[in-house]
Chain A
């Protein structure tokens, strides 16, 4: 288990007590985290025990080429919710949108934290990093994002790339990508990086990953794109409540036809659910209210790389070429081929039969 002793920070338990958050609320949070990450039930208590004693790690949050949607997603989660606890679990030492300080003071707090907690702080990045023309297209306090990232990464224990921009380059990376935007992982190669993709990502996923990191001292198991498997292991389609209609071949053909009103599958309207790995269909959004497909719109596939360049949001992933017609065609073609082969074989057998000369004992010897 990782040593979370970060001098100068009180423990999470003390912090929670100050905030008037009861142990019961905290345990509920821990249980929810354990469940979300598909950990064994007993882990909830373990999480609570570790978390309550954990010194809140220093977190430096760098925002680069982004729209602040990820931060919005996080902060606008309904209060009091589990997500609000994030700021009690960590010591957010730098976040230029949220922090009160500005100008040199702000930059100083970042530098102080980097120095004081070198090798131990968590670096959270949202937004992509422009590298074209030496990265001049996005600067903070006169320094390029590229420069800031490389500097901050040096002392980071791990990097959490929040949002599809930081994880995969996102919308800034979309064609023609005028700023040469790239993902964190394209630049930093020597640090553990966890991608929490989505545009924006689900708040509880960020919280879950942080809780996992604090409890176990390591990053959760990741998929081939660096995303935590517990949240990105399955596709939206796998878990979609409209899946039965897909299986029955019942599709909405327009956003206002009978199929749409009956809540049939949105595949033909361009839903990217089948190729999108995320937890929307299970954790949902807005305090568990719903998720896009539940609101009648197909998934955009925002948690996958290059989602913006993957064709129209409204064209189907692959258009089933009327499977029944195709099947009939195949049956007809198969039957025709079968009949043709059968006729050919009959002709051949018939020819052999008519060529038959009654065998006699004279035929037995060559």
Chain B
């Protein structure tokens, strides 16, 4: 057994906890999770059945923590997990799982399959079986500070562009501000208009806010590759930044897994509660709306629909807020089929968009989104996650569909009542 495999197995032994033990022992092998997974429905290949993706973890559980499994292992009746097997499982654990959590919703015995995939990735990554794309992203995140290699100067350049365009100063490192705004590197590079939108909205609402030079990146490659130690390091940066500036609330940007990492996994990753609140930008905006701090005028006339980011809506619970906000500025908002918590993933979450080998599979899986969009006949697609946005854009381009994808925060900012 190679040293890395030994470490990986040891990690798997460590991550198998009471929930995982009860999930494996209560699985009734019904296969319902297959129909919930877009990689299965769009390819028809049974290897993409979510519970099957967990086979190595199940075997370690059985061989290490069950009486019969231990006996079988002792007698040589059950084969140990090998490097070859983990390598074979790499496309199942990474390429074809966006951690979207749809399977967890349909499991009749309530098994949280995503929870398990996330834990299996811990062992996969440590034993050296993570995809190169995610390894590189994680390295950049730790070493440079952003998975896409964005450094502070690059952010400052974008801040300058935005300031010039909208004529509002972008605050940096303002201690005591109410809100600390985070960005995803996708937004810094591809969608800087998000920053301008936030600036306009904050100005209208009269709220103090700031960016932090030591913690502007919200995304968390550690969560995607599945290494809690790395995820913890990345969360700690944000915590340090927020506590240094003594802000009341940290705003997670339009990014799904950043929200999961910061809001739901963060305190466990660093081992203590935060001294500040974490909200998604849509929660903040809907809060402003209900307090009357969000004044808009005019409506979008085109037929538009909303893509629910999995981590935000299904896994995160931010379900009503995007609808409230959309209805504030759109007259022709239609839901896709399976909206809200049963939405279909864009196909690129959970790190999949960073895995080059997975691109073809990702386009195959996108067929479900394509048909959903065609059903609605929508002319514009709104979403609230920069990763979803880029994946949707790529998918639409691949299938030659001419539908613009818009971030919800920018759409709201476009309808702000000017000058008060």
Please list the residues of chain A having a beta carbon within 8 angstroms of any beta carbon in chain B: 337, 341, 345, 348-349, 351-353, 355-361, 363-366
Contact = CB atoms under 8 A, between A and B. Distances in A.
B128 A366 contact: yes
B320 interface: no
Contact of A360 (B67, B127, B230): B230
A132 B64 CA distance: 67
Given A355-B10, A364-B139, A366-B4, A345 B128 contact: no
A54 B227 CA distance: 94
A359 B227 contact: yes
Contacts of A352: 10-11, 13-14
Nearest to B16: A349
Interface string B123-151: 00111101000010011001100000000
Nearest to A363: B126
B11 A356 contact: yes
Interface residues on B, range: 20 to 34
A359 to B, nearest CB: 4
11 contacts: A349-B14, A349-B17, A352-B13, A356-B11, A358-B229, A359-B227, A360-B229, A361-B143, A363-B125, A364-B135, A366-B4
A337 B67 CA distance: 10
B68 to A, nearest CB: 11
B65 interface: yes
Contacts of B13: 348-349, 351-352
Contact of B14 (A353, A363, A364, A366): A353
A359 B126 contact: yes
Contacts of B127: 366
The 7 A-B residue pairs with the shortest CB-CB distance, nearest first, are A366-B128, A352-B13, A352-B14, A359-B229, A364-B135, A361-B139, A366-B4
A345 B10 contact: no
Q: Is the interface of A mostly helix, strand, loop or mixed?
A: helix
B128 A348 contact: no
B66 to A, nearest CB: 8
Contacts of B128: 364-366
B65 A345 contact: yes
A364 B126 CA distance: 6
A361 B230 contact: yes
B225 interface: yes
A365 B67 CA distance: 34
Contacts of B16: 349
B400 interface: no
A195 B229 CA distance: 81
A351 B135 CA distance: 27
Given A360-B230, A364-B126, A364-B227, 19 more contacts: A348-B64, A348-B65, A349-B13, A351-B13, A359-B125, A359-B227, A359-B228, A359-B230, A360-B229, A361-B142, A361-B143, A361-B230, A363-B4, A363-B126, A363-B227, A364-B125, A364-B138, A366-B127, A366-B128
A357 B10 CA distance: 10
B387 to A, nearest CB: 21
Q: In the complex, which of the residues A337, A349, A360, A364 has the most CB atoms of chain B within 10 Å of its own CB atom?
A: A364
B22 interface: no
A358 to B, nearest CB: 5
B290 interface: no
B138 A361 contact: yes
B291 interface: no
A357 to B, nearest CB: 8
B248 interface: no
Nearest to A337: B67
B263 to A, nearest CB: 23
